[in-house]
Amino acid sequence: MREISVKALAKINLGLDVIKKREDGYHEVRMVMQTIHLFDRLVITRGPSGRTSSHSYGIRSKGSPEKSAGRAGRITISTNLSFLPVNENNLAYRAARLLMEEFQIADAVDIRLYKHIPVAAGLAGGSTDAAAVLYALNRMFDLGLSKKELMQRGVSLGADVPYCVMRGTALAEGIGEKLTPLPPMVRCPVLIAKPQVNVSTRFVYENLKLGGKMKHPDIDQLIADIREKDLSAIASDMGNVLETVTIPNYPVIAQIREHMLSCGALNAMMSGSGPTVFGLFADEDTAAAAYESMRESGLARQVYLTGIYNTTRA
């Protein structure tokens, strides 16, 4: 296989609770993760030189090709967004290098990344790109790795990468790497809106104050709602403790949430550490009207109307 095109799907958190801060500085979490049908596209090509005519695809290539350590071949990466790194600071690059060094792949690999998932948005955009590269190289070079084996390798790249390999509906525990598959989420329209601010995940966790009167989402009840396929109950029981940090620092998040609710969302909430807000809707017509209203409001820089993605039918 000389070339492969893959989709890298975004995720939302239907529930996000932080249990405690560990001695190593990481936080123990319990999260309900859900894949949505908003995605980046990656086109990966193998060849002896690693040079491809990426400019003919209308995307801008930055920097000079870099070579992996050891016996791995050269990796080049190009993207449609000029501010994205195209070296080892890009998780897609690091994912390619991980497998190429382990399996001593001497062929060059060129990655063309068409980015649509908002960046630094709480949607696992970088992690899902890395997961897509792991999947693609496993197929391209016939490495024979199972999904579980890809997930095990992905955790070294980031806590969300194993989930992005797995996809679907899942309970994430530990630092996010301990995954338990759940029954597929009931399908519904999902409105995504990211304001013109970027949020540091590190800042959010460092300023999270656990204890006291903090309201924690009932993750077990949320899982029960998912099992019952009760969309109204799922929406009602959603919760994200990180909003206690992010919203006071970025009030526009609350404004977006309230706008979605006023437009008929069953509920709306920040995903991950933000600043993206998502809303769940009961029907397509209401969601479509909310999409237009959100675009006209000027509250969000990027607005998408998408839906739930399941690995099996719900």
Question: Given 40, 160, 225, 237, which residue is catalytic?
Answer: 160
Q: What is the DSSP string of 29-64?
A: EEEEEEEEEEEEEEEEEEESS----GGGGT-B--S-
* 314/242 Cα distance (integer angstroms): 29
CB 224, CB 314: distance < 8 Å: no
From the list 287, 244, 235, 312, the residue with the least C-alpha distance to 266 is: 235
* Residue 160 annotated to the active site: yes
Q: Which two tokens stand for residue 139?
A: 């197929």
Residues contacting residue 18 through CB under 8 Å, at least 6 positions apart: 27, 28, 29, 205, 208, 210, 241, 242
Phi, psi at 101, each rounded to 5°: -75, -40
* 94/45 Cα distance (integer angstroms): 16
Give, as one character, the DSSP assignment of residue 183.
Answer: P
**Residue 170 forms beta bridges with which residues?**
33, 181
CA distances from 137 to 95, 141, 152, 190 (A): 9, 6, 15, 31
Q: Residue type for 30, please? A: R
Question: Given 11, 17, 110, 194, which residue is catalytic?
Answer: 11
Q: For the chain, report the end-to-end CA distance as a whole number of angstroms.
A: 33
Q: Which residues are designated catalytic?
A: 11, 160
